[in-house]
Structure 1
Amino acid sequence: ATNAGNLARTGYSFAGWNTAADGSGTGYAEGASYTVDSHLTLYAKWAADTYTVNYDANNATSGTAPEVQTKTHGVDLILATNAGNLARTGYSFAGWNTAADGSGTGYAEGASYTVDSYLTLYAKWTADTYTVSYHANNATSGTAPEAQTKTHNVHLTIATNSGELARAGYSFAGWNTEADGSGVNYPQGAVYWLNADLTLYAKWAANTYTVNYHANNATSGSPPAAQTKTHGVDLILASNTGNLARMGDAFAGWNTAADGSGTDYAEGAAFTNDTDVTLYAAWIPAYQIGDIGPAGGIVFHDSNDYSDGWRYLEAAPASTEWVLKVWGGYGTLVGGTATAIGTGAANTQAIVGKLGEGDYAAKLCADLSYGGYSDWFLPSLYELDLMYQNLHLQGIGGFMSAHYWSSSESTAHYALNQHFFFALPSDDLKDNGHRVRAARAF
């Protein structure tokens, strides 16, 4: 017989007749001839339906999608793995999905597919993510923003300074890819579009301070232009470039107070304070050679310049002079002493630093306190010669026609002195006794 009665079974197709219910017996097609003389029961034979499972690479940039699979009705199908190494730049493979945009039903690799239906599975892609970290970069207060997560090909808005990062002496100036600010700048709230991890450092702009100059009652000349000091960077102060002058006085550098009661700064000195400041021209009485100096000594040199922090040299009065004093340190090389004008103070400091306590020329001068000042020193050879030329030869200062020690060393055993009659410098043994006259600079 044919299937005239339209036998049907869900999930199966009619496939003729069979002598066994499970289809394992002898099969007979519809309308076939039966020739055996025997009773017979024929069972409808059912062939399970099949369904195709297709795989779609879904914008993969490399690899291949799995081959098509066939699912038999009522029989679970083990879904394919990513055996073809599908990959997509900027994304990670995350299994399969019934929708290309990942909004459908998800299936893991190797999962069981139980639905009796045709199916297309799309490679599911999870966008890679990148971390944007923030570094306080020597901030003295506040906190850096929390790290942000950037999704592949999705623009990220860079954080603002929400944690109120601050650094003493600096202003916050956004973010930079390098701690020293030499990298790429990112303003607060800027768009970051690169697909890469990123560390952003707080960028600091050093504060600046203004140094103004004031003529302070000068009768001629002009003060230097204002200077700008950067935080943490020493500034070299201006010299008297505008030739400021005041009748009856000598220019003596700069002072933070108009009356000279503040802090003194020499021309060309390093200004280290991180603050605005006004510097006033400092004036001291103008001295002539032979005048009595501020400490009660006798002025014997005018350098006409205050760039080294002093302009005049004065010799201590005759009442302070020592007789028959050794230079000291016989056999010991102090080293580093000089003969030039302006080096006596440093020479004296070096000698005392090397030889220490004792009754010798440099130490006596360094310990002298006279006229309210204690910054006396043993003059260098050329300073001593100025005493001779400008005072002794003019009959000023009460000098004797004798040998006077200078602070200028020759060797470990000899030092230089000058005779105030023959006007000639000479070497002498350090342990010989000569006269000593102190000097000071102002």
Structure 2
Amino acid sequence: MKKQLILGLLALLSLVLVGCRDARTYNDKVNVVFFTSNSDPSKIESYLNIEPGSLIPEPEYIPTRTGYDFLGWFKDIAATQPWNFDTDTVGTESIVLYAGWGSLVYDIFYDWNGGTIPTTPYQETFRVGQSFVLPQPRRVGYEFKAWFLYDENEWPGYTPGIGQTYKPGDGGYSTLPVNVGAADLYLYAHWDAIKVSVTFRANYPVASVVSNPSNRTFTYDFNLVYDANVTPEMTNINKLPDFSAIASTLDYTFVGWNTSADGSGVWYAENTPFQRTIRITLYAQWQAK
């Protein structure tokens, strides 16, 4: 009997000691961790050792994220359950509060540079990280090159008269530029003027006296200038043959170029813009001296 009593006391003492040890080591306090985003680690100190059932103060630091607007703190990472710092209390377990983000919308400003605005809908706003095809404008006499972040002829090192409106090696954009940044976007349409092969026929009244000039390539909208009147400072022109080198040896005077051999077609006169988008044959017109 005595032996049994001693064993019982030892068992009871053991339970008391365990209870005392648990009382000394058990901590029911909880922690609150703030998470902003994967791309922007939180700068907000966690709240440690909070009493369950307590209100917590809203952090003074407002997190930032490029291209996004901070919407507040949420209970879930999908940001569907907002945390109300005035009424919500912490529970019996540690929690994470997540920053909610709303993607900012930015405007796109298009400079068509003489092109026709598409009649089909096109994007005039964007959000950071979006990707979509940019509109394709049209312009008579020109081929649309691409959209650029600078206007025509406004790139460093541009030399007037070279006929290229964009920086060599810059292909421009047909889709929204990546990493465009969190700001309104300004896009400029650049154009390549259409180049046309022109065939010339001497059409001299006396056969085999005057040879046909060689074919030339003309650029849309460039002015026509006779060879004899071209000066070194002239740029962006189309040079018209004029037979000036042999004029003094001929019995007829050259008077211009026409689309018909008999002069009944369209005249292509000097100091007028060339506005043809398909190849053409021009016939010299003569007048007896």
Q: How does 1:275-286 map onto structure 2 within 5 Å?
A: 275=276, 277-285=280-288
Q: What is the distance in 2 between the residues matched to 1:265 and 1:98?
A: 76
Residue of structure 1 aligned with 2:182, choices 196, 207, 218: 196
Corresponding position of 2:48: 68
Shift of 1:172: 2.7
CA contact (8 A) 2:143 2:194 kept: yes
Judging changes above 3 Å, is the alpha-carbon distance between structure 1 residues 245 and 223 closer, same or farther for their aligned structure 2 residues?
A: farther
CA distance in 2, matches of 1:92, 1:194: 17
Distance 1:156 1:142, change over 3 A: closer
Structure 1 runs not aligned, ≥5 long: 1-48, 288-442
What's the offset of the Cα at 1:234?
Answer: 0.8
Q: Partner amino acid for 1:215?
A: A
Partner of 1:258: 261
Spell out, residue by residue over 1:315-338, the C-alpha distance to the aligned partner (whole angstroms, 9 max, x if none).
Answer: xxxxxxxxxxxxxxxxxxxxxxxx
Scaled by the length of structure 2, what TM-score is found?
A: 0.60
Pair 1:169 & 2:141 matched: yes
Q: Distance in 2 between matches of 1:87 and 1:141?
A: 37
Question: Does 2:118 align with 1:142?
Answer: yes
2:88 and 2:220 mapped to 1: Cα distance? 70
The whole-number CA distance in structure 1 between the counterparts of 2:88 and 2:148 is 52
SS in 2 for 1:192: coil
- 3-state secondary structure, aligned to 1:121: strand
Q: Are the structure 2 counterparts of residues 235 and 89 from structure 1 closer, same or farther at C-alpha, using a change threshold of 3 Å?
A: same
**What's the CA shift for 1:88?**
4.5
Deviations 1:311-364 (A, max 9, x none): xxxxxxxxxxxxxxxxxxxxxxxxxxxxxxxxxxxxxxxxxxxxxxxxxxxxxx
Given that residues 254 and 279 in structure 1 are in contact (C-alpha distance below 8 angstroms), is that contact kept between their aligned partners in structure 2?
Answer: no
Partner of 2:200: 213
The residue that corresponds to 2:34 in the other structure is: 56
* Equivalences for residues 21-420 of structure 1 within 5 A: 51-58=29-36, 59=38, 60-61=40-41, 63-68=43-48, 70-73=50-53, 77-89=54-66, 91-99=68-76, 102-103=77-78, 106-108=81-83, 110-114=85-89, 116-126=91-101, 128-129=103-104, 131=106, 133-135=108-110, 137=112, 138-140=114-116, 142-143=118-119, 145-151=122-128, 154=129, 156-161=131-136, 165-180=137-152, 182=166, 185-189=171-175, 192-197=178-183, 198-217=185-204, 218-236=207-225, 237-240=240-243, 243=246, 249-256=251-258, 257-262=260-265, 269-275=270-276, 277-285=280-288, 287=289
1:280-300 CA-partner distances (Å, limit 9, x unpaired): 222333x4xxxxxxxxxxxxx
> Aligned to 1:126, what secondary structure does the other structure show?
strand
1:113-166 superposed Cα distances (whole Å, 9 cap, x missing partner): 246322322441526545352526133453472224233xx35233343xxx32
CA distances 1:237-272 after superposition (whole Å, capped 9, x unpaired):
2222674899x8424143313124456667xx3242
Which 5+ residue runs of structure 2 have no aligned equivalent?
Answer: 1-26, 153-164, 226-239
1:107 and 1:226 mapped to 2: Cα distance? 75
1: distance between equivalents of 2:88 and 2:145?
57
Report the CA distance between 1:214 and its aligned residue: 0.5
Greater CA radius of gyration, 1 or 2? Answer: 1
Q: 1:111 to 1:213 in 2, by over 3 A?
A: farther
Check 1:192–1:222 CA distance in 2 against 1; reply closer, same or farther (3 A cut). Answer: farther
Distance 1:244 1:220 in 2: 12
Structure number with greater CO (CA < 8 Å, separation at least 6) is 2
- Alpha-carbon contact 1:79-1:110 (below 8 Å) kept: yes
> How much identity, in percent, do the aligned residues show?
22
Are the counterparts in 2 of residues 91 and 125 from structure 1 also a CA contact under 8 Å? Answer: no
Query: RMSD between aligned alpha carbons?
Result: 3.8
Change (3 A) 1:255 1:139: closer
Aligned partners of 1:271 and 1:201: how far apart in 2?
Answer: 28
Taking structure 1 as the reference length, the TM-score comes to 0.42
AA at the equivalent of 1:201: Y
C-alpha change, 1:244 and 1:70, in structure 2 (3 Å) is: same
Q: Which amino acid aligns with 1:176?
A: F
Q: Which amino acid aligns with 1:284?
A: Q
Rounded to whole Å, the distance in 1 between the matches of 2:244 and 2:97 is 81
Distance 1:240 1:157, change over 3 A: same
